[in-house]
Amino acid sequence: MGGPAVFMDMFNSCSDPSALEGISWLACYLTSGKHLGFYTSFGTVMILLAITAPTALLFGFSGAMAARARFLPLRLLGKGYTAMVRGIPDIAFFLFVPIALDQGLEWMRHKVKCPDWQEPIRQGSDFVVCAQAKLPLSTSPQWVHETYGFFLAVLAFSVVFGAFAANVLFGAMRAVPHAQMETAQAYGMTERQSFWRILVPQMWVYALPGLSNLWMILIKATPLLFLLGVEDIVYWARELGGSKTSIYAYPHPDWRLYYFLGLLVFYLSLTKLSEIVLGRVTVKLSRGQATLAGEAQRKAAG
């Protein structure tokens, strides 16, 4: 029974920050509402990685399949996707995709919900649609606006990194010995069967080094969420670490060095953990494969 009472007393004592000092001031400062937003933003980054990685891989696999298709328009589409995104600076594409998608969705909703609208949608540099077509609606709660912005950010990351993944997977598909595909067809497999049963299972060991590097780049690119209007860890580190004035409840000197040092530790820990996991996955996929890693395993077993 004493535990909740202690916490209640602590929160009550935090109601007047100007009366605090020392450890009490620091405890209240680190448990303020803004700091809870800072702690939550670490989860935002992890959710972004958890959603973007498989989505980008799906984009990449689709792009790689399109790039090797026999149907010329589809093949041009696949190669054009990888070439276009790889040739454009990431930051430009990260800013373009959310804006283009947002305006495209609002334009379609505008045509359906406001067919009698007489004014042009493009008014100089402004994009104006009726209130019913806005995404999200102005009456929507804040969490809807934040979720929508996060969705656009995930899509932008997925499109960009999907193009890089498509290039990696396309090269991995070509690295699988063609003789194995010919052998599969000689045993009566159709082209579709040999693709899914022979090519796809073996290509991952060739693709994993490139995909591992892509994963590391994706981790380092998560601070770009800040540019897309998402309150990520970089946003909060800058806001909370900056020098505060008397208008803030907890004024303090410029502490950005310590906040960004904490982000440095977080990203280094995440990349180190990723290296360990990816190393184990590489060992598992290389077992029995005709690669340098697989050959090394056979020699070690012998």
Which amino acid does the sequence have at 242?
G
Element (H, E) at 70: none
SS3 category, 126: strand
Q: Are 82 and 210 in contact (CB under 8 A)?
A: no
- Pick from 55-64, 89-98, 293-302: least confident: 293-302
pTM value is 0.79
Angle at 242 between CA 240 and CA 246, to 5 degrees: 90
pLDDT in tens, 97-130: 888 888 888 889 888 888 888 888 887 778 888 8
Q: What are phi and psi of 122, to 5 degrees?
A: -90, 110
Give the CB-side neighbour count of residue 217, counting CA atoms within 13 A: 15
Give pLDDT tens digits for 228-238: 778 889 888 88
pLDDT at 1: 43
Which pLDDT tens digit goes with each residue over 174-210?
Answer: 888 888 888 888 888 888 888 888 888 888 888 998 9
Stretch 239-243: mean pLDDT, rounded? 86
The per-residue pLDDT for 287 is: 66
The pLDDT assigned to 3 comes to 46
Taking domain 33-97+142-301, whether its CATH number is 1.10.3720.10 is answered by: yes
Contacts of 41 (CB under 8 A, 6+ apart): 231, 232, 233, 235, 236
Going by pLDDT thresholds of 50, 70 and 90, the confidence category of residue 91 is: confident
For residue 5, pLDDT over 50 is answered with no
